[in-house]
Structure 1
């Protein structure tokens, strides 16, 4: 009975606090905020600018003391900037991927460079944030010294969704455009349902583990933080979803060099920054085959890919990513 009570409390209890590393806002645009996490003891000249996915809050990057990606970087001597997209409203339904790249990432990086006084920047993108970071790096005027893409979807010829879904999308069986025209924004409940479908039964098995270990307070707190994040989907703008579905998933335009931002083609071969591609071996959302082609598409002379024993979320929530980033960036973050 005690275990069942703890299980019930974990499911229905109040939300836990989020954001454990000291920070302050240095720039805002619409719903987005650029956060600065000042380093404890600065060791590196090149700051880190993080771009996260559009469909989740970035709290997983500052998950808990001792397992925080951002905290790990700050404690290692890096100034860190995080672009937090916020929560889109219906009035944002026409914002495209290109708008996010030009009006938010590009301007945010410029603001971070001015704020830090640095001559160059390291851009780190996670999941769909890595896709946006790669798009940005291909068109950037700003001095990007290092580009890191972790658990990133690039080549959509390798499907991450069930085969029948992929076939239906390519053949036009799914009327994505009509759905977007009706809703404007993609509600979080639909996004959550999609990921539950893709990852089932894995998505449900943690509840069994929780019941088994409900007497372990440390485990229960970690479980609650993870559960809070997985349910923390945010609305996705209709036009961004239209491009993801049609231009990326259906037509694979980014790999083909046919994706455009405000009339200009996004050519990944123009990326010359030092490149690190981090791939999670047990990722149920982003197959290795979606990430690895980025290595051949860029013109970088210094490029590395690293296969990590982790899942899509555990790469970040365990803090493992901070160590990977520090090991690679430390020799590439000073003049």
Structure 2
């Protein structure tokens, strides 16, 4: 392949300046801790990480077009029909000999912050695809970037949108449907399920934050630092992706140094490199967050801890973990840095779920890591089958 025919270089990682500053600081700290090691714990690793960034930016792999069919658009949101895409990729055949109408829909609710593709990342690494193989018809909620309708959306509006999608699937299916929420999508799915009642057959919350002050001094500190930014968010009408990413980077200042230096050592044409590229692309593709919703997350969740304190208000109603009375599945990864385990366990304490799994992975590894199939996908599918 000639240089001229290669895809354009990726921008990022975003925000690039903060990534470089964090990487440099982490390298200097590693050298200061063990100066006898020379450059092995500092400059050498930084050089390797910078090489890793260049390799990622120029990597020829792009996530394949899955040919997803969009259903039931509301504003900028829609449902991505995983089953239709899988049937299309297999030449129109349904592997289990089932007609589409015989497959029970499952609504997958991702976080508001990153694209929904983490739940359908690659053809051979997809929670949604696995559920299709088990006989379900997964419908993945794509929030979309805030448009004219969503510009002033708060969390109650996003919960109402989940409720609308539930109602649509119930009407199409003719009965209640399961709902799976990931990260803050799980927290919002809980609030929506509490109001949807019997329309939700069963609810799964995967690494859903609830107690924002549990094992979360770093999270609280970052939120307090962010409070002065609220006038800027109000002025812009949204929280840009670069601003959101800066908080996640600050949770683990040495993460970029470690992951990009590790990537530089990988065989660049292997499956591990393709997974890394797909994940890094996903991390850098997120839409902005509507201003009112961003304000509520920072103020009401991280600073006031309103969900755990029982004072999280959605419109005129309070939200409680006990609002939903159906079967509940919870997954709390043991090595989660984004949602500390104690935060998600705060929801478990209020739920008393009938099924709890504790994958030995992190926030993202639980969904797409090496052990995701055995630690999460299989027990979740078995639970969905009742």
Correspondence for 1:65 among 123, 134, 159: 123
Could you tell me how far apart the structure 1 residues matched to 2:357 and 2:78 are? 30
Could you tell me how far apart the structure 1 residues matched to 2:63 and 2:378 are? 26
Partner SS state of residue 119, structure 2: helix
Normalised to the residue count of structure 1, the TM-score between the two structures is 0.86
* Mapping 1:24-103, distance limit 5 Å: 24-38=69-83, 40-41=95-96, 42=98, 46-89=104-147, 92-102=150-160
Contact 2:170-2:199 within 8 A present in 1 as well: no
2:116 is aligned with 1:116: no
Partner SS state of residue 28, structure 1: strand
Correspondence for 2:244 among 187, 191, 205: 191
Contact 2:223-2:299 within 8 A present in 1 as well: no
Aligned-pair CA distance for 1:6: 9.1
Query: In structure 1, what is the equivalent of residue 162 of structure 2?
Result: 105
CA distance 1:260–1:18, shift in 2 (3 Å): farther
CA distance 1:322–1:149, shift in 2 (3 Å): farther
2:214 is aligned with 1:158: yes
Query: In structure 1, what is the equivalent of residue 369 of structure 2?
Result: 318
**Gapped regions of structure 1 (runs ≥ 5):** none
Could you tell me how far apart the structure 2 residues matched to 1:330 and 1:163 are? 34
C-alpha RMSD over aligned residues: 2.7
- Using CA pairs below 8 Å that are at least 6 residues apart, which structure has the higher relative contact order? 1
Could you tell me how far apart the structure 1 residues matched to 2:268 and 2:320 are? 53
Aligned-pair CA distance for 1:145: 1.9
CA distance 1:322–1:40, shift in 2 (3 Å): farther
Aligned-pair CA distance for 1:326: 4.0
Normalised to the residue count of structure 2, the TM-score between the two structures is 0.76
Partner SS state of residue 92, structure 1: coil
Could you tell me how far apart the structure 2 residues matched to 1:331 and 1:247 are? 33
Contact 1:286-1:312 within 8 A present in 2 as well: yes
Query: In structure 2, what is the equivalent of residue 296 of structure 1?
Result: 349
CA distance 1:236–1:163, shift in 2 (3 Å): closer
**Gapped regions of structure 2 (runs ≥ 5):** 1-49, 84-93
Report the count of equivalent residues: 323
Q: Choose between structure 1 and 2: higher helix proportion.
A: 2
